[in-house]
């Protein structure tokens, strides 16, 4: 039976970059026999404009039925003044919660071809290959109570709650240990156990899970130190497992080690490996509509989709090789441009990846 893929282009550069990733999917379908059906729906700001809500019921229903979801990006200045409860970002958070996508895998890989693009010294980042496993459906992003209240003296107070249940910590740690078993067998759990009880529990549960997996080395690090170590000596890490908010922050930091956030894909998985795949960069409203956004992170997200949700590791590897090929050929969107390279726009980059896929067929 065909696998159902739901496409959610979203806002800003989302539609442009997703358009190129869909070309890659269509090429795999037409030339490599991948049995897929594509459907499309609204999420984010465009859904607010067209349907009055960032995550229309119809979109969530289609996402529930799909085998995998590909998302571009959501948000932009047009919707920033809306109440936080109905902003475009709520569409993404609603998908994560509604599909129980608790495990967010964010690889940070430095392509040798892009060593110059990093702001860090080449010797610090060359060969970098780390994977951040971010808890995605719990913690302070979803904890109750939350809100803004007025105190007796009339002053307003904003509050959020950082909560983690043992079962939530356990399942994300298991994912981290599972992926580490297929990498360099080292997991660093990042917390703030010296200050926050919820992450003191996190550390205890991580140790318990480690007890079940004797062949994986577990270490612990406070989040402030982890932020420092990521820019001081990032290659010390293999897999990092951490809370929703710490993972949000550290994954942007890790992305910049690689030179461009425009290169990094992500997978958000449920317990059955159904997933939502998206580039980790945002909707980049400043360059939207100009045809210069880098589509490679979205195309690499398709590779992750093939590997994790569609069980097609060989096709995933083909996409990754095709991306390497276009980088070897010197093609660069402006965000990764370096002297001597050939500057191309979004479409030309997507076409080049498709051509490289076909050439290697």
Which residues of the shown chain bind ligand IPM in the complex (CB under 6 A)? 89, 92-93, 248
Q: Which of the listed partners (Mg ion, ligand IPM, none) does 249 bind, with a CB threshold of 5 to 8 Å by partner kind?
A: none
DSSP E strands, 41-185: 68-73, 103-109, 129-135, 147-150, 156-159
Angle at 284 between CA 62 and CA 142, to 5 degrees: 55
135 lies in the site for Mg ion, by CB under 5 A: no
Looking at beta carbons only, is 24 or 92 nearer to ligand IPM?
92
Q: Is residue 335 near Mg ion by the rule CB under 5 A?
A: no
Helices 296-308 and 313-328 cross at an angle (nearest 10°) of 160
Say which of 100, 178, 252, 351 is annotated catalytic.
Answer: 252
- In the annotation, is 252 catalytic? yes
Q: Which does 92 bind (CB under 5 to 8 A by kind): ligand IPM, Mg ion, none?
A: ligand IPM
Contact at 8 Å (CB) between 306 and 300?
no
Q: Listing from the earlier edge strand, what are the strands of the sheet with 239-242?
A: 36-40, 3-10, 68-73, 275-279, 265-269, 103-109, 129-135, 239-242, 186-191, 217-222
Among Mg ion, ligand IPM, none, partner that 351 touches (CB below 5 to 8 angstroms by kind): none
Q: Is 219 helix (H, G, I), strand (E, B) or coil?
A: strand
* Contact of 206 with 152, CB cutoff 8 Å: no
What minimum distance in Å lies between the beta carbon of 207 and ligand IPM? 27
**Out of ligand IPM, Mg ion, none, which partner does residue 89 contact, by CB within 5 to 8 A per kind?**
ligand IPM
| Active-site residue (options: 3, 67, 141, 335) | 141
Q: Which residue is nearest to ligand IPM (CB)?
A: 89
- Specify the stretch interacting with Mg ion by CB under 5 A; choose among 86-94, 185-193, 247-255, 316-324: 247-255
Query: Distance (Å, rounded) from C-alpha 325 to C-alpha 93?
Result: 35
Give strand pairing partners of 220.
189
The single residue among 16, 135, 238, 248 that binds Mg ion, judged by CB under 5 A, is: 248
Residue 145 preceded by cis peptide, ω within 30: yes
Which of ligand IPM, Mg ion, none lies near 231, with the C-beta cut-off 5 to 8 A by kind? none
Spatial contact of 60 and 29, defined as CB atoms under 8 Å apart: no
CB of 285 to Mg ion, least distance (A): 16
224 is catalytic: yes
Structure token pair of residue 7? 């496409």
Interacting residues of 52 by C-beta distance below 8 A, sequence separation 6+: none
Q: Is 235 part of the annotated catalytic residue set?
A: no
**335 included as an active-site residue:** no
CB-nearer residue toward ligand IPM: 16 or 312: 16
Whichever of 42 and 92 has its CB closer to ligand IPM, that residue is 92
Give the residue numbers annotated as catalytic, written as ranges.
Answer: 141, 192, 224, 248, 252
Positions that interact with Mg ion (CB under 5 A): 248
């Amino acid at each position: 039976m065909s696998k159902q893929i739901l496409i959610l282009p979203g806002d800003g550069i989302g539609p442009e970059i997703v358009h190129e990733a869909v070309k890659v999917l269509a090429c795999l379908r037409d030339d490599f026999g991948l049995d897929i059906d594509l459907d499309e729906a609204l999420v984010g700001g465009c859904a607010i404009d067209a349907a009055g809500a960032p995550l229309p019921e119809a979109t969530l229903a289609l996402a529930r039925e799909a085998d995998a979801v590909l998302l571009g990006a959501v948000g932009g200045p047009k919707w920033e003044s809306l109440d936080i409860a109905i902003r475009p970002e709520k569409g993404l958070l609603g998908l994560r919660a509604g599909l129980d996508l608790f495990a967010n895998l964010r690889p940070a890989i430095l392509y040798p071809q892009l060593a110059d693009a990093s702001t860090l010294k080449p010797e610090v980042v060359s060969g970098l290959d780390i994977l951040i496993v971010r808890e995605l459906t719990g913690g302070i992003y979803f904890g109750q109570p939350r809100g803004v209240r007025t105190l007796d003296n009339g002053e307003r107070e904003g509050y959020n709650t950082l909560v983690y249940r043992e079962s939530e910590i356990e399942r994300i740690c298991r994912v981290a240990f599972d992926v580490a078993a297929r990498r360099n067998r080292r997991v660093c759990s990042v917390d703030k156990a010296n200050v926050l009880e919820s992450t003191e529990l996190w550390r205890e549960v991580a140790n318990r899970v480690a007890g079940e997996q004797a062949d994986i080395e577990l270490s612990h690090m406070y989040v402030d130190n982890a932020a420092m170590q990521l820019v001081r000596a990032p290659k010390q890490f293999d897999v990092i497992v951490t809370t929703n908010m710490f993972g949000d922050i550290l994954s942007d930091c890790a992305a910049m080690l690689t030179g461009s956030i425009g290169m990094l894909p992500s997978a958000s998985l449920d317990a059955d490996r159904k997933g939502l795949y998206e580039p980790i960069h945002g909707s980049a409203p400043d360059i939207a509509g100009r045809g210069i956004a880098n589509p490679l992170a979205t195309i690499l997200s398709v590779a992750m989709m093939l590997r994790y949700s569609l069980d097609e590791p060989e096709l995933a590897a083909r996409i990754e090789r095709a991306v390497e090929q276009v980088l070897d050929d010197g093609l660069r969107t402006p965000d990764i441009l370096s002297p001597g390279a050939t500057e191309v726009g979004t479409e030309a980059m997507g076409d080049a990846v498709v051509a490289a896929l076909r050439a290697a067929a």
